[in-house]
Amino acid sequence: MKLEQTNRIIIKIGSALLFNETSGSLNKEWLNSLAEDVKYLRENDKEVIIVSSGAIAMGAKDLDLDMKNMKMDMNQAVSAVGQIHLMGSFKSAFEKNEIKISQILLTLDDTEQRRRSINARRTIDTLLKLGIVPVVNENDTIATSEIRYGDNDRLASRVAQITSADCLILLSNINGLYSADPSTDEDVKLINKVSEIDKDIEKMIGQSISDYGKGGMKTKIQAAKTAMLSGCHLAITNGSIMRPVKSLFEGRPCTWFEPTKTPLAARKQWIAGTMKPVGKIIIDDGAVDALKKGSSLLPAGVKSVEGNFERGDVIEVLSSDQNKIGIGLAGYAAEESIKIMGHKSDEIADILSYSYREEMIHKDDLVLI
């Protein structure tokens, strides 16, 4: 991808790049070179958003704790200490390059609820208009195991989706996606371009998880899926060099994921990017065929319902052999869905004594996967 083709770029920085793995101290020189990269992008009229990990690692270093064996309550507390150090480091590196930064801490619900996601986008847009670089992280201080993104790869892709960014760069300590595991297989090739995540790509995903970060290749591919459906290019590239973003646009080898040819409408992008659907609907084969032909999901095709969801919540649609078919907004709450499943739509009013609509999931609220 060429620099001229993009307007709004998100740079995601993994903890492994920010810290020296042996000493655990902040890699100041590298952070300064990243700030120079951001300056370069802005001189080329690009809007830049940063997603940075490192709160927990930095807090653990400051408090002299071993971050690997910490329980959730410690993670929450330690991140509260580390986040201010993290932002302090960004502030001083970016100020040297005459760039003002801001801090945005997101909780899963800030992007999972449509109204809140629009609000987050508005704030980010305003900051960018003011010429300020937003630096985003998960709000680890109040994140719990059920309510969290868990890794900043997927957080960054969700931020890309809600802000309509057209380029997301995952700076990591790997060069990109390889045809096989580079640590065990000598005959490996770096894949330069991916335009569809098919079974072959899924097979190539190793589980290389670095010591500091939470993500591995798996979360990067999930991030790529969200980005691709949102019309956003995504690069997985090795950031452990000076000026990593400039050299990426100068053609340094990496893996670029290309967006789907026909990006979904904004509302459907948001549905498809949902990180934690709250329920499941299992449908019969006839309904699977009907959905693939573009129909809505009617109660008649539903075999079972799982989870405790409300009307309007995001739920998954599965075939009877448990394959994920799609994701969409529930037309009825779980309790109502159980009562009307297997029935014709004109029976809904008799069964419930009211009827919101004919469909269990309307086609406008449904994204096939």
CA distance 332 to 354: 11
Binding residues among 301-360 for ligand GLU as defined by CB under 6 A: none
Distance of CA 110 to the CA centre of its chain: 13
Nearer to ligand GLU, 67 or 191 (CB): 67
Give the x-and-dash track for 5-44 against ligand GLU (CB under 6 A). Answer: ----------x-----------------------------
Size of the site for ligand GLU (CB under 6 A): 15
To ligand GLU, the closest distance from the beta carbon of 160 in angstroms equals 15
Binder among 8, 46, 61, 214 for ligand GLU (CB under 6 A): 214
Binder among 10, 56, 234, 348 for ligand GLU (CB under 6 A): 56
Binding residues among 96-155 for ligand GLU as defined by CB under 6 A: 137-138, 140, 151-152
Nearer to ligand GLU, 71 or 261 (CB): 71
213 interacts with ligand GLU by CB under 6 A = yes
Q: How far are the Cα atoms of 88, 151, 291 from residue 300, in angstroms, in the given order?
A: 57, 38, 13
To ligand GLU, the closest distance from the beta carbon of 355 in angstroms equals 44
53 interacts with ligand GLU by CB under 6 A = yes
CA distance 204 to 28: 34
> E strands, the chain, where?
8-13, 47-52, 100-106, 132-138, 167-172, 193-194, 233-238, 255-257, 279-283, 302-307, 314-319, 324-329, 366-368
- Look up residue 346 and give its amino acid: D
| 302-307 and 279-283 beta bridge pairing | antiparallel
To ligand GLU, the closest distance from the beta carbon of 39 in angstroms equals 24
Nearer to ligand GLU, 275 or 333 (CB): 275
**Structure tokens, 357:** 């609509």
226 interacts with ligand GLU by CB under 6 A = no
78 interacts with ligand GLU by CB under 6 A = no
CA distance 101 to 136: 10
Handedness of CA 119, 111, 219, 361 (dihedral sign): negative
Choose the stretch contacting ligand GLU; rule: CB under 6 A; options: 128-136, 207-215, 225-233, 280-288: 207-215
239 interacts with ligand GLU by CB under 6 A = no
CA distance 167 to 154: 14
SS3 249: helix
Nearer to ligand GLU, 137 or 269 (CB): 137
54 interacts with ligand GLU by CB under 6 A = yes
172 interacts with ligand GLU by CB under 6 A = no
CA distance 13 to 171: 5
**Which residues of this chain interact with ligand GLU, rule CB under 6 A?**
15, 53-57, 79, 137-138, 140, 151-152, 213-215
